[in-house]
Amino acid sequence: MTLQDNPFFSHRAHFTKQSLDQLEYLSDSISSLNQPSISSTSGMTYEFDPVLDEFVPSTTVHSLGPPLSESPMTSGKGVLSFGLAFSHTKFTKLDGRDLNDLTVDLGHLELEPDALTCLAPGFPNPPPPNCYSYIDDVVQLNLDLKIKNQFIWFSSNYGLSEHMDIGFHIPLMHTNVSVNSTASIINAPSIVYSPFGSVHNFDPVNEDSPDSSASESHTGPGDLVLHLKHQFKKSDQLNLAAFYQLRMPTGDPDNLQGIHGVGGAMMLLSSARFPQGKGVLIPYFNVGFEVNGSNSGQEKVLFDLGLEYDIFAGGRRLSTYIDVIGSNTVTNQMGSGDDRYDLGLGIKYAATDRGVFFANEILPINDSGLRPNATYLMGFTWFK
């Protein structure tokens, strides 16, 4: 944005570093968009049938695996699964402020010590007490920002042994960002002492309008995520596993579809099992650490706390879930999105002997960072 050069007092547009930091802060918040996580858990348990001489789906009530959090359970040796999922997110708030009504104030750059910063008739320097302090003028931007993300996930998981799984998932992403901006000049109250009105005006010569808009969309792959899970304790009461994740920078960070550099995470996964009537109640708790989890190179503490209930419904296995998913930034805190907490609600249904449908809703618990009203995720997993 260029402001008009005043014929009485030569002056061009320049803003303080703090003002520019406001715009950079908004840009960083957008560039740190995180894709929703999906579980690597296959969701079906297989048992060996000595009569058929092959593995068959278990007829015992077992966990189908939480769709958003990781389960310590593994798939079983030789079990291969493929998954397809779709997610839609429309962001609506930034740190609790509506994206369609954001305000950014651009203040004036500090001038040299001997510069004339307050104007009066005749331009005396030093100026009298009653003068126009033009450096207190502010250019205010009113922004209407729209950000949408859509994902199609492709995933696979394979049981290397009874206690170890490997796998991956990668999203195909469509991101759309548009912004409408209206600028206005808020003059300091002392303008009543100005000899010629405001120093700051929009420049009609350069056709610089106070109104502007821009829109851009991009479709492409996101970051490839590889995982390995090792279950080191398995019992009817308690299950424990170590989970490792490697995020490869295959997406385009300039189009909000990936991060710079390689990222990774490791977690301790735990769950218990309590029979309840005709079903099973499964609480789970996971805690871990993430390295380079965003474009700001942040390190974060991660946790999942959830409850799952599994039953047979119509001869098929049905699971319902509630999750609290959180992350706390340890390094390179931005002041926005450093601590995020979400509530996840989900359902899984084993529609066939080798297929599981799932659907989830993710609701933000707090306002930190760039947030949607809700994120929706649904998909299907097939087992071979």
Tell me the domains of the chain and their CATH numbers: 17-383 (2.40.160.40)
Residue at 255: amino acid letter = N
| Angle CA 84–217–295, to nearest 5 | 75
Cβ count near 37 (within 10 Å)? 20
Pick from 30, 31, 1: nearest CA to 14: 1
pLDDT of residue 201: 77
Residue at 39: amino acid letter = S
pTM of this prediction?
0.81
Match 């295959």 to its residue by tokens.
250
Q: CA end-to-end span of the chain, whole Å?
A: 59
pLDDT of residue 370: 86
DSSP label at 127? Answer: P
Distances in Å between the Cα of 131 and the Cα atoms of 12, 173, 196 are 20, 56, 12
Q: Which two three-digit tokens encode residue 119?
A: 């104007």
Q: Are 90 and 372 in contact (CB under 8 A)?
A: yes
pLDDT per residue, tens digit, the chain (384 aa), is: 445 555 555 555 555 555 555 555 566 566 555 566 667 665 555 555 565 566 555 555 466 778 788 889 888 888 899 999 999 989 999 888 899 998 888 887 777 777 788 888 888 888 888 998 888 888 888 999 898 989 999 999 999 998 999 999 999 999 998 989 898 889 899 999 888 888 777 776 666 678 888 899 999 998 999 999 999 999 888 999 999 999 999 988 888 888 888 999 999 999 999 988 888 999 999 999 999 877 677 899 999 999 999 988 878 889 999 999 999 999 877 777 788 999 999 999 988 888 899 999 999 999 988 889 999 999 999 988
Q: Which two three-digit tokens encode residue 166?
A: 């490997």
